[in-house]
Every structure is written in C-alpha cells, then in structure tokens.
Amino acid sequence: MTWLRRLRNNTQVEAQLDAELRFDYDQRVAANIRAGMSESEAQCAARLAFGGLEQIKEECRDARGTRWLLDLWQDFRYALRTLRRKPGFAAVAILTLALGSGATTVMFTVINAVLLKPLPYPDADRLVTVNEATEKYGDTWQLSYPDFIDLKSASRSLAPAAWGYKGGTISAPGDAEHVDSVQISSDLFSVLGVPLLRGRAFGPQDDRPGAPPVVIISYRVWQSRYGGTPAAIGMPLVLDGNHYTVVGVAPPDFQLAGEVDVFTPLGQTTDPRMQNREAHFLPAVARLRPGATLAAAQSDLALIGHNLAGQYPKSNVGRTFQLHPMLEAAVGGVRPLLLLLLGAVGLVLLIACINVASLLLARAVSREPELAMRVALGAGRGRLVRHALTESTVLALAGGALGILLAAVGVRPFIALWPGALPRAEEVHLDWRVLLFTVAVSLLTGTLFGLAPALRTSVRALNQTLRAGARSSPGGSRRLHSAFVVSQIAMAVVLLVAAGTLGRTPLRLSSLDPGMNVHNVLVARVALAPGALTNPAQSRAAWRDVLDRARAVPGIESATLSDIIPMREGQDELGYWTTPVQPPTSQLPIALASAVTPDYLKVMGITLRKGRFFTDQDRTGNVVIDEVLAQHAFGQTDPVGKRLFLQEMGPTTVVGVVGHVRHWGLADDDGSQLRDHLYFPFAQVPDTFMPVFSSFMSMAVRTSVSPLTVVEPLRRNLRGTGGDQAIYEVRTMEQLASRSLSRQRFLMLLFGIFAGLALLLACIGIYGVLAYLTSQRVPEFGVRMAIGAKAGDVIQLVLRQSAGMIIAGVVAGILATMAAGRLLERLVAGMRPAEPLTFAAMVAVLLIAALLASFVPARRASHIDPMSALRQE
C-alpha cells in the first residue's frame, strides 16, 4: 500500500520534492556562473528557465496519483475543524443521526439473523418442509405415519424425515423431571446433516416396533444427568417408566422447533395413531437429493399423492403434498412484521436525516460569504461540493458509529420484548454484515442530506453574494426548507396515527367477550407419575386422583381436565359429518375437539345455550357442540338430540350447545379457519388412546381466591404418593388472554416509541428552520416595527408562515396514512382503519407541538429592537 505510506509521509515527500528541485536550480546557477555570468545574472537566468516553481510541484503531485486522497484528507480535517468550532450543532446532528441509525441497525440486526442468514445446517438451502394439503384447509396438515412411510419409499427427489412431539418424565438417572421429548424417524439427523456429538444416530434396525429401546439425549441432559462423561453411551435412562439405552448425544445447540431433551425412535412407538392414515400429527422435513430442484420434487410428490389417493380413497382423495423451503417455513410468519418495523424505523431515520439536512442548509446559507471568498481564491465548484459532502459524511459516520453502539445495547431488550418466541432469536448478534449495512446506510444518508446544501453552492450565485456584500440572501433556501418541514410533518403524522390506531386496538380487543370467564382460573399441564402411564386403567385412576387432590386444596372451587386450553398452544382436531354416508376425508369440515371432564363448563365459565353438559354418567357417544358448529352443521334447526359423526369415534349424539370460546385468542379468533368446536367426555377416550392423551392432558381449576396463591399448595398436593407427579406451564387464564394480544401490544409500544421520536425530531426540525428563517427576516421585521407593527403582528406573521408549512404537512401525512393503514390492517389481526377520533387526536397533538415549536422563534422575533435591526442592514 504505497499510497497509504506516501499519505502518511506526506511532509517528507514534500520536503524531498522541494530538495530535488532546489538541487536542479542550484546546479543551473552554478553552470551559468561557470559560463561567465555574474551571480545575480545566473540566478535570474536559472529562474527564467525554471518557470513557475509551484506549478511544477503541483504537476509532480498530480503525477504521483495520490492527489484525490490528499484532497480527501484535507477536506476531512477541514470538516473536523468546522464541526469542532460549532460543538452544539455537531452534537445535535450526531445524536439525531445516532438515534435514527441505531434503531435501524437494531431492526437490521434482527432481520439479518432471522430472515437473511441460512439456517444453521449444512447446505440449508436444500432443506424443505413437507406438509399435506387439502382444498378446504390448505397446506396446514402434518403427515400421517403411513403417508410418511409411503412418501419415503416412493420419492426419488428427496430424502424425508419426520418427528412427533411427546412430553415425558425422566425418572432415572437423577430426580424425576418433565422433559421435552420427540420421537424421530431414524434418518432425521442425517437428513438435517447434523453429526452427533457422541455415539451413533438411529438406524433402520431401531425404527420398528419391538426393537430394543434406545434413546439419544441432548447435550443438556448429558451434562446434567451423566456429568458429560463419554461413558454415558450404553448407560440406561428411564423415560415414562420405560427403560432405554443411551446410544448418542446431540450437539449442544441442536434445536428442532425448540429445545429437545430426549429423542426416541418413531418406529418403536405403540401409539395407535401410527397405523392411522387419517391421524396427521407428524411434522416433516426433507433434503432435496443432488440434482433435484424444488419444482421437480414438488411434481414428484404430486404424483405420489395422486397414487396414494388411488390406493386409499377414503383417507387420501383430494390430498396432496406441499413443499416449502425450510427457512421460509421457519421465519415466513415474522417476515411481514419485521419488514413493517424496518419501514417504521426507516421513517424515523428519514426524519432525522431531514433534520440534519435543514440544519446544514441553514449553515451553508450563513457561510455563503466565506464560500464566495474561497471561490474568488480559486476553489472550483466540484471542490466546494466535495467539501460539503465530506462534512455531512463525517457527521453521518459519527452518527452511525454511535448508532452501532446503541444497537449493540438495544438488540437484546428488543428481542425480549418480542411477542411470543422470535424464531432463531439465539442467532441474533451484530456481525460484519450489520456493520457493513450501518456504514452503507450512514454513507447513503450522509450523501442524501449533504447533497441539498452542497448543490446549493453554485459558483454563480456565490459571485453575486460577494458582489452583494457580506449579507446573505436566504430567498432560494426558503422553499427547500419549507419542503423539509412539510415532509417531516407528513412522516410524523403517519407514525402518530399508526401508533394511535395501534394503541386503540388492544383496548378495543380486550373489551371483546372471550366466551368464557377468564377471572380466577388457573391452568397447568400435568405430568402423571411414570408408573401410571403404562396401563390405561391405572391412568384413568390417576387422573381421577389428580382431580380429587386438586379439589382438596383450600381456595379451589372446582377442577377439570382438558386436552386443549383456550388461547394456549396445542390443539386437537376432528373431522365431522351429519349424514350417515361419510364424505371423502379431505372434504370433511373440521372442528376443534376438547376431551373434558364434567366440571369443564363450570370451571371455564362458558354459557350453556341449549340442552345439557356432561355428567359422570356420560361414557359413550355423547358430544356437546358450540354455537358456531351448530350454525354450520344444523343451521336453524335445534341440534340437541341430532346425530353427529366424528372421525375415529363414529356416531355420537349432540346433548347440548354452548357458547363460542375465542380459542385462537381475542384478536385472531375471528380470522381463523378453524372455529367450530366440540367437546366430548374424557371418560369416552378409548383405552388404546389413553397413553397419548395422558401425555398431554392439562388441568384447570376455578378459585375463590387469587389464582396464583393456590399454585404452591396445588403443586404440593398433586405430587402424588410416589412424589413423582408434577404440574408445569402454570398460567392464569387472564395471562393467556392478555398474551393473545401481545403482538398488538408490542406493535403499539414500538410504534409509540417511534412516533414519540418522530414528533420530537419533527419539532426540533420545525424549531430550527423557523429560528433560522426568522433570523433572516430580522431586518424586515425591523422595518415593519419601525413603521408601526406591534409585537403581536410580528408573532402572527411568523406563525402564519409556519402554519402554512404545518398544514401542508398534515394534509400530505393524512393521505400517506390512508395507504399505510391498509398495510397495517393486513398485518395485525383485529386492526381497524383509523377512526376519525384517532386521526383528530393525533393531528391535534402534532399541531400543538408544532405550533409550540414555532412560537419560540416567533416570540423572539417580536422582541427585536427596530433600531438595531435596521442598523444590521
């Protein structure tokens, strides 16, 4: 890097150039003297022969090819000097930009890690998710095990792997603890391309019923229960009362849609759903085989789906497979939200840029005499523009650097605020891409807000300035300044109205009726004692015992069991029909199905509309439906006593109708596809299904005291005779209801912050511009006051000027808000168009703030002394 060295040694290079030329000159003088000239004649002749020394030096510098760098360095030092001379200005500008670029950097850091970076698997772009799809409910179906097996053997274009969720309790080695366990097909690890840390993955020999029970444990379990010893391979592990042999340890950060503690072979499980082609409970991924494209794999799967429909018309007619890139499937849900936030943050950054641009513009105008002098001394226009741009770039880079610091501090709290779990949150950190992005944004914004003042410095205008004397002429900048204020206000209006509307959304939604009484209800998942899981009769007894023990806790009025809980993750669905002939499965309407005990209605506080709810005597064939299902299946006729056919359960009789519960959350339920809901007695669950149901049943209790106060007594009472029974994921229904609005609240909070920031920046902008414009008009006000204008008249004059800009900005902002509002309605469930009231309130806030910001300069203008103002002329 010789040019860098030359730049560093610039003084030395200059000295050498001087010495070289001086040597030549002296030689020439000496030669002339030898030729017989006097000393003064010799010097004179040499000087004549030499020409302009400075010119030669300039040409030599040009010849070195580092000229641009020297100029840049000079401009940079000049920019630092001018900024240091006005520290207040520099501080305001840098802070403003730091806020803007800091917020933008936080958003980009998240977007980079979540949306842009490939998933942490080798060749992750070859991984896809596999779903089944029907016309009625789209590609929301998971795979059934028989479909998965057929897909696996028939597909030439991809290698699929599937897994099923299953909770579980490890009881040895170590204390009993509930863990997240999954059952995986044998090739899951190899399909994902993840090598095991220790031991081996499952092979085909493990993946069949009756094979020796083997287990792969997570790094966490390996550390906590086996002390991280390599000898763990081959040691026993007791899961849900069954004895397994550890064969492998997964790598430390391995995730499968969340943390997993224990992996068991899917093919070994005795779950009756495994033989059922209509039980869609397996998420699946696949790796495209070498050479296969997504489109080729998709058509390959279409053919397989078609063949399956021919072979198994009852379950598979109208059913196909659908592939999605794995990254898309993992993060597609948060993309619109992240991009929306990036857009909002971008507006804040833009407002910040405009602020700095108008500050720079005002300064450029007041520096016109200085610039005119430089032009007169020979500076070219290009050099002046470069000058101005260097200064704005220095500001932008300083702001960007501070912004990166802000982002480094702010990104964790931001993720903590995220509603629910942000996918890939653990991968979010600042990296070189983020730094590159911020530097690029800084350079771009620096050019953007430096350009307006830079291009203003036209040489012709500057010559006129010089001729006009020291007074500068603000006329040309006034229009640009007004444009700045108008656009700032417009953007602030967009953010304010969006924030206002978002602010009203949770308020309006939380006043919605959830369909149940959420107060004084506590829900929890229950992990039965492992010993009770092996035998259906023991399981039923254990569940009865759970209810009895719960009812015995003081403060608990009633207790119930249910497999699914409103507004919490987890669902169970059944297809239903009303005619004796079953339509093809893919045509069946689907209902949420809750297996509950008789007290469910009482605990949850759901209204009974018709008929009755269950009693302990309901053993077989009775269901209760909600009013939405009643409307869909039976229309206006009374459903009580009618027949309802259910998948996997056969014919049932409707004994009652209850009110609709917003299962999907206060906001999202209205837009959900799956709103029909039916209830059947837990006692009706067949023996073969008891192990499955027992692994995910929850309990709910209604309390006469504050629900959280019964948590500890309940936990103690439920521990059971063996002390190895536990409750987990304990929540109040109020918490669940409120959490169902967390997305709305999150957006409200962020937009509130953004809007506040925008309002603040816009006010600073208005204040700065008006203060400047007013100071330019001081002589004019002097004349007006000298011929009789009063202070009030001057205030009015200034306010009228600002009111013009503010109103123009508000009008532009309202138009932009209409467009932005539609975007928000698409993205946020329960969001309605901004009501006139919200509009009016937010615009009023802005008007008041803007007028206050303009009042200060106006008042100052009215206090000027006409005589001194006139003398300034």
Q: List C-alpha distances in Å: 174 to 40, 169, 177, 723.
A: 105, 11, 9, 14
* Polymer length in residues for the chain: 873
Q: Does 30 bind other proteins (CB under 8 A)?
A: yes
Q: Determine contact, residues 388/453, Cβ cutoff 8 Å.
A: yes
What's the closest the beta carbon of residue 75 comes to other proteins, in angstroms?
Answer: 23
Q: Which residue has the tokens 């993955």?
A: 201
Q: Judged by CB under 8 A, which of 9, 12, 14, 16 binds other proteins?
A: 16
- Nearest to other proteins of 16, 672 (CB atom): 16
- Nearest to other proteins of 26, 426 (CB atom): 26
d(CA 757, CA 669): 33
Stretch that binds other proteins, among 23-31, 110-118, 246-254, 340-348 (CB under 8 A): 23-31
Per-residue string for binding with other proteins, 468-487, x by CB under 8 A? --------------------
- Nearest to other proteins of 52, 195 (CB atom): 52
Stretch that binds other proteins, among 44-52, 227-235, 854-862, 864-872 (CB under 8 A): 44-52
d(CA 256, CA 259): 6
Cis peptide bond N-terminal to 173, omega within 30: yes
Stretch that binds other proteins, among 25-33, 710-718, 722-730, 818-826 (CB under 8 A): 25-33
What's the closest the beta carbon of residue 50 comes to other proteins, in angstroms?
Answer: 5
What's the closest the beta carbon of residue 22 comes to other proteins, in angstroms?
Answer: 10
Residues 6 or more apart whose Cβ sits within 8 Å of residue 269: 164, 166, 183, 209
Cα 55 → chain centroid:
60
What's the closest the beta carbon of residue 68 comes to other proteins, in angstroms?
Answer: 14
Per residue, the 3-state secondary structure of 410-428, as one string, reads HHHHHHHHCCCCCCCHHHC
What's the closest the beta carbon of residue 12 comes to other proteins, in angstroms?
Answer: 11
What's the closest the beta carbon of residue 27 comes to other proteins, in angstroms?
Answer: 4
Question: CB neighbours (10 Å) of residue 664?
Answer: 20
Q: Does 47 bind other proteins (CB under 8 A)?
A: no
Nearest by Cα to 783 from 698, 700, 665, 864: 864
- Nearest to other proteins of 27, 275 (CB atom): 27
d(CA 662, CA 672): 10
Q: Determine contact, residues 478/375, Cβ cutoff 8 Å.
A: no
- Nearest to other proteins of 19, 436 (CB atom): 19
d(CA 702, CA 718): 16
d(CA 320, CA 864): 81
Q: Does 439 bind other proteins (CB under 8 A)?
A: no
Helix, strand or coil for residue 449?
Answer: helix
Q: Judged by CB under 8 A, which of 12, 14, 15, 27 binds other proteins?
A: 27
Q: Judged by CB under 8 A, which of 44, 50, 427, 583 binds other proteins?
A: 50
For 104, the token pair is: 């933008």
Question: CB neighbours (10 Å) of residue 175?
Answer: 10
Q: Does 48 bind other proteins (CB under 8 A)?
A: no
Q: How many residues bind other proteins (CB under 8 A)?
A: 22
Q: Which residue has the tokens 């060295």?
A: 5
Q: Does 28 bind other proteins (CB under 8 A)?
A: yes
- Nearest to other proteins of 27, 706 (CB atom): 27
Stretch that binds other proteins, among 14-22, 69-77, 523-531, 596-604 (CB under 8 A): 14-22
Sign (positive or negative) of CA dihedral 768, 481, 77, 379: negative
Q: Judged by CB under 8 A, which of 23, 200, 671, 844 binds other proteins?
A: 23
d(CA 660, CA 626): 5
What's the closest the beta carbon of residue 383 comes to other proteins, in angstroms?
Answer: 21
d(CA 120, CA 819): 38
Q: Determine contact, residues 141/131, Cβ cutoff 8 Å.
A: yes
Beta-bridge partners for 199:
248
Stretch that binds other proteins, among 27-35, 112-120, 197-205, 344-352 (CB under 8 A): 27-35
Q: Determine contact, residues 564/592, Cβ cutoff 8 Å.
A: yes
Residues 6 or more apart whose Cβ sits within 8 Å of residue 317: 309, 584, 585, 586
Q: Does 12 bind other proteins (CB under 8 A)?
A: no
Name which of residues 59 to 78 contact other proteins (CB under 8 A): 59-60, 62-65
What's the closest the beta carbon of residue 35 comes to other proteins, in angstroms?
Answer: 13
Q: Determine contact, residues 773/801, Cβ cutoff 8 Å.
A: yes
- Nearest to other proteins of 19, 116 (CB atom): 19
- Nearest to other proteins of 9, 688 (CB atom): 9
Q: Judged by CB under 8 A, which of 7, 10, 21, 324 binds other proteins?
A: 21
d(CA 793, CA 798): 9
What's the closest the beta carbon of residue 289 comes to other proteins, in angstroms?
Answer: 54
| Residue-wise DSSP of 235-249 | -EEEETTEEEEEEEE
- Nearest to other proteins of 30, 405 (CB atom): 30
- Nearest to other proteins of 24, 207 (CB atom): 24
What's the closest the beta carbon of residue 59 comes to other proteins, in angstroms?
Answer: 4
Residues 6 or more apart whose Cβ sits within 8 Å of residue 16: none
End-to-end CA distance of the chain: give it in Å, rounded: 55
- Nearest to other proteins of 49, 455 (CB atom): 49
Stretch that binds other proteins, among 13-21, 305-313, 795-803, 841-849 (CB under 8 A): 13-21
Q: Judged by CB under 8 A, which of 7, 10, 24, 117 binds other proteins?
A: 24
Beta-bridge partners for 179:
168
Tally: H helices and E strands in the chain? 29, 22
For 449, the token pair is: 């807000």
Q: Determine contact, residues 208/269, Cβ cutoff 8 Å.
A: no
Q: Does 26 bind other proteins (CB under 8 A)?
A: yes
Q: Determine contact, residues 194/252, Cβ cutoff 8 Å.
A: no
Stretch that binds other proteins, among 36-44, 57-65, 81-89, 146-154 (CB under 8 A): 57-65
Q: Judged by CB under 8 A, which of 33, 37, 45, 56 binds other proteins?
A: 56
Nearest by Cα to 533 from 308, 692, 767: 692
Beta-bridge partners for 131:
322
What's the closest the beta carbon of residue 17 comes to other proteins, in angstroms?
Answer: 8
For 342, the token pair is: 């990036």
What's the closest the beta carbon of residue 65 comes to other proteins, in angstroms?
Answer: 5
Q: Judged by CB under 8 A, which of 55, 307, 688, 709 binds other proteins?
A: 55
- Nearest to other proteins of 6, 386 (CB atom): 6
Name which of residues 130 to 169 contact other proteins (CB under 8 A): none
Q: Judged by CB under 8 A, which of 52, 204, 332, 651 binds other proteins?
A: 52
- Nearest to other proteins of 62, 370 (CB atom): 62
- Nearest to other proteins of 26, 123 (CB atom): 26
- Nearest to other proteins of 65, 209 (CB atom): 65
Main-chain dihedrals φ then ψ at residue 558, nearest 5 degrees? -150, 160
Q: Judged by CB under 8 A, which of 4, 12, 15, 20 binds other proteins?
A: 20
The residue ranges that bind other proteins (CB under 8 A) are 16, 19-21, 23-24, 26-28, 30, 49-52, 55-56, 59-60, 62-65
